[in-house]
Amino acid sequence: CGFHLRGQAKLPFETLYLQVPNEYSPLAQELRNSLVSNGIKLAKKSGEAQVVLQIVRELPEKKILTLGGSGRVLEYQLLYSVSLRLYDQQQNDWLPAQEIVIHRDFPWDDTQVLAKQQEEVLLNENMRSDLVQQIIRRLSFAKLRAQE
């Protein structure tokens, strides 16, 4: 079948300005590192960049997934959603506003609170790198959309 080794995934732009609600959020830092390692020059100001990647919202959430008969929580669901948009200096959309939602279900045990807290941190870290990978992949498919 037609499988071949993945070639250089060229991002369709060279310079990008990353606009995030919180400069120091771990997602923003990991996204910067990943963009740089994909050969993208990060601009200091939005004016200098060919395109602007705007992370409109970054929302980690934790919801009860399964409640046990004992009234105790048996499973939590961690969600990490990011809504983003990519546009150029003329405000034309390269990536229309879209949302990426990732989730992890993980069993909860009230007798192991400290361990479960650390597991939660690990899962959030993995979700962040998963999100960064998906964002980079979406960016590689971005192109100047015909203005409808």
Partner 1 sequence: DEHAFVLKPTRSLLDLPKPTQATPLFMYADQIKGVKDSQFEATGHVEMRRLGQRVWADYLLYLQQSQELHATGSIRFDQNRNTLLGPELHLNLKTGTGDMPHPRYNLGETNAHGQAESLHIASRENYTLSNATYTTCSADKEDWILKAGTLNINQGTQIGEARDVTISWLGVPFLYSPWMDFPLNSQRKSGFLGPVFGATTKGGSELTVPYYWNIAPNMDATLAPRVMQKRGILLNNEFRYLQPSYTGEVRLNVLPSDMLTKTSRTYFGLKHQQTLPANLLGAINYNYVSDDSYFRDLSDSINSASQINLLREGVLSYNDGGWWNAQMRVQRFQTLQDPAALVVVPYHRTPQISLNALHPIATGTFKFNSEFVDFSHPTAVNGQRVVLYPSISYPLISSPGVFVTPKIGFHSTTYSMGANNAAQLPANQTRSLPIISLDSGLFFDQETSLWNPNYIQTLEPRAYFVHIPYRDQSRLPVFDTAQAGFNFDQIFSENRFIGSDRVGDANQVTTALTSRLLDRESGEERMRFILGQRFSSISPKVNLTIPTGTTNKSDILLGFSARASRTWSMDSLLQYNPSLARNELFNASARYQPEPGKVLNFGYRFMRNTLNIPNNFIDHINVSAQWPLYGRWGSVVRTNFSLHENRLVEGLAGLEYNQDCWTIRMVAQRFAVSTAQASTGFFLQLELNGLVKVGPDPLQTLRQSIPGYTKTNQPPNSASLPNLYD
Q: Binding residues for partner 1, per CB under 8 A?
A: 1-9, 23-24, 29, 63-75, 77, 98, 104-107, 109-116, 118-119, 122-123, 126, 134, 137-138, 140-141
Query: Shortest Cβ distance from residue 132 to partner 1 (Å)?
Result: 14
Query: Shortest Cβ distance from residue 69 to partner 1 (Å)?
Result: 5
Contact 106, 122 (CB under 8 A): no
| Residue 88, amino acid | D
| Closer residue to partner 1 in complex, CB, 92/140 | 140
| Closer residue to partner 1 in complex, CB, 4/44 | 4
Contact 52, 17 (CB under 8 A): yes
Paired residues of 75 in beta bridges: 66, 107
In 3D space, the residue among 128, 126, 100 whose CA is nearest the CA of residue 31 turns out to be 128
| Closer residue to partner 1 in complex, CB, 52/108 | 108
Residues 4 and 9: their CA atoms lie apart, in Å, by: 13
Query: Shortest Cβ distance from residue 142 to partner 1 (Å)?
Result: 8
Residues 106 and 123: their CA atoms lie apart, in Å, by: 9
| Closer residue to partner 1 in complex, CB, 21/107 | 107
In 3D space, the residue among 53, 40, 49, 32 whose CA is nearest the CA of residue 9 turns out to be 40
Query: Shortest Cβ distance from residue 53 to partner 1 (Å)?
Result: 14
Contact 11, 38 (CB under 8 A): yes
Query: Shortest Cβ distance from residue 49 to partner 1 (Å)?
Result: 19
| Closer residue to partner 1 in complex, CB, 47/69 | 69
